[in-house]
């Protein structure tokens, strides 16, 4: 497959903020892909744009003539990385490489996931389990009073992706009714990720969600309320030391039988991640801000036994070859893989193909909202095609 030209423009994400759409013209047609954008970002993430989105749009068109090598397989994305390295930001690189995969799949008469591993279907490939954000807080909430934790997840264990999606949709509707009874300020509003926006604290939310009888998870996003060696809670106002945070999270795990705990400590605290993992080896201790889809951060987490699951957000690192490296490293070390959306999403569905192609254990992409549902529906479509 030959790239003839590359162009880009800004579009609006689900938050109404600018993100990038990249279009490539090839010998098999024209293909476009967009990148999501994060609001709660780790300080170790790659920059979304070299300087700004306008600069990347201008730069990618300047580089257009340099993409002269043939692209024949997934690993040929190395050629693209060599050209764009240090010139473009992670959002732009991810969008461009996604468009290239679409073109390559068209030329080869394959699905995008088959470009990653064509043997999956015949080998009885596993489908990722859905992680659905049902109630939101933290930086994703618009309310003045809100949970300090960023996300409260429902993680059903159904027989199919379609069944899990139905379970989550039903539970989310039922949760709305329950929230209305315990939260006097609840008005049915939703946050950035189409999750219910409430004024409850984390314990009150978990009390409601445990009634669904679905395995529960939390994305604490602890870096968002950490400063000067302490965690500053607002609902209610509390200051917890690192040791107190460890004990508090441990108690929540025990009291609410949590299955999944993401970013329980600030983004450089490998030690307390490791201590929590040692206390609860059978639940998922998940790194996101800690690891930022970065092979070197993951290597450190593995060495220190900090996690047993990792969030993979392709636009945190940009290069899909780096995403492949992270996934291979995780599998080699028995680290569960959680492909994840961002809070500012688009109608792009390629995340589902990547999650299945890399044989992720989980796909975290919300429950409702068109930008979330397009990814779930694509995964259901793949499942139907194979089965």
Q: Is residue 115 in a domain?
A: no
**Whether residue 269 sits in one domain with residue 224:** yes
**Whether residue 205 sits in one domain with residue 74:** no
Q: Is residue 120 in a domain?
A: no
**Whether residue 143 sits in one domain with residue 104:** no
pLDDT tens for 237-280 read 999 999 999 999 999 999 999 999 999 999 999 999 999 999 99
State yes or no: is 325 an active-site residue. Answer: no
Residue-level pLDDT at 316:
96
**Whether residue 57 sits in one domain with residue 8:** yes
Average pLDDT (168-191) is 96
**Whether residue 334 sits in one domain with residue 211:** yes
Q: Is residue 123 in a domain?
A: no
pLDDT tens for 229-240 read 999 999 999 999
**Whether residue 270 sits in one domain with residue 224:** yes
Q: How confident is the model at residue 387 (pLDDT cuts 50, 70, 90)?
A: confident
Q: Is residue 18 in a domain?
A: yes
Examine the pLDDT at 130 and tell me if it is beyond 90. Answer: yes
Q: Which of 45, 97, 111, 193 is catalytic?
A: 193
Which residues partner with 153 through β-bridges? 133, 217
- Bridge-based pairing of strands 196-197 and 18-26 is unpaired
State yes or no: is 97 an active-site residue. Answer: no
Out of 79, 110, 141, pick the residue that ends a domain: 110
- Residue numbers of the domain that contains 40: 3-110
**Whether residue 80 sits in one domain with residue 183:** no
Q: How confident is the model at residue 40 (pLDDT cuts 50, 70, 90)?
A: low
**Whether residue 168 sits in one domain with residue 36:** no
DSSP state at residue 114: H
- Burial class of residue 142 in the structure, from the number of CB atoms within 10 Å of its CB (0-12 exposed, 13-18 middle, 19+ buried): exposed
Average pLDDT (331-335) is 98
Structural domain total, the chain: 2
Q: Which of 59, 102, 146, 313 is catalytic?
A: 313
Average pLDDT (38-49) is 85
What is the pLDDT of the chain when averaged over all its residues? 96
CATH of residue 306's domain is 3.20.20.120
Examine the pLDDT at 123 and tell me if it is beyond 80. Answer: no
Q: What are phi and psi of 190, to 5 degrees?
A: -120, 160
CATH of residue 51's domain is 3.30.390.10
- Full-model pTM: 0.96
């Amino acid at each position: 497959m030959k790239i003839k030209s590359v162009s880009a423009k800004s579009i609006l994400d689900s938050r109404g903020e600018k993100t990038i759409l990249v279009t490539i013209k090839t010998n098999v047609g024209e293909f476009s892909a967009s990148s999501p954008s994060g609001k709660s970002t780790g300080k170790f993430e790659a920059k979304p744009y070299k300087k700004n989105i306008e600069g990347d749009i201008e730069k990618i068109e300047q580089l257009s003539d340099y993409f002269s090598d043939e692209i024949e397989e997934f690993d040929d994305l190395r050629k693209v990385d060599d050209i764009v390295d240090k010139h473009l930001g992670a959002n732009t690189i991810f969008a461009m490489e996604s468009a290239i995969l679409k073109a390559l799949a068209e030329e080869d008469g394959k699905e995008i996931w088959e470009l990653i591993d064509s043997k999956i279907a015949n080998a009885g490939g596993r489908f990722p389990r859905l992680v659905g954000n049902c109630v939101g807080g933290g930086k994703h909430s618009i309310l003045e009073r809100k949970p300090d934790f960023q996300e409260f997840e429902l993680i059903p264990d159904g027989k199919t992706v379609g069944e899990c999606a139905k379970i989550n949709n039903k539970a989310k509707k039922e949760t709305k009714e329950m929230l209305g009874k315990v939260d006097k300020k609840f008005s049915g509003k939703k946050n950035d990720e189409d999750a219910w926006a409430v004024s409850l604290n984390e314990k009150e939310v978990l009390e409601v969600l445990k009634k669904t009888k679905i395995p529960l998870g939390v994305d604490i996003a602890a870096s968002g309320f950490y400063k000067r060696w302490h965690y500053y809670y607002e609902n209610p106002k509390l200051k917890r030391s690192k040791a107190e945070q460890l004990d508090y999270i441990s108690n929540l795990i025990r009291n609410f039988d949590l299955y999944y705990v993401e970013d329980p400590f600030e983004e450089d605290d490998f030690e307390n991640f490791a201590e929590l993992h040692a206390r609860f080896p059978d639940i998922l201790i998940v790194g996101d801000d800690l690891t930022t889809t970065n092979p070197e951060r993951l290597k450190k987490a593995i060495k220190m036994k900090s996690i047993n699951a990792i969030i993979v957000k392709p636009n945190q690192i940009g290069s899909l070859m780096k995403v492949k490296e992270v996934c291979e490293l995780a599998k080699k070390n028995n680290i569960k893989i959680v492909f994840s959306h961002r809070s500012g999403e688009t109608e792009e569905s390629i995340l589902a193909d990547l999650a299945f192609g890399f044989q992720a254990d989980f796909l975290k992409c919300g429950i409702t909202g068109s930008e979330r549902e397009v990814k779930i529906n694509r995964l259901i479509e793949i499942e139907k095609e194979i089965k």
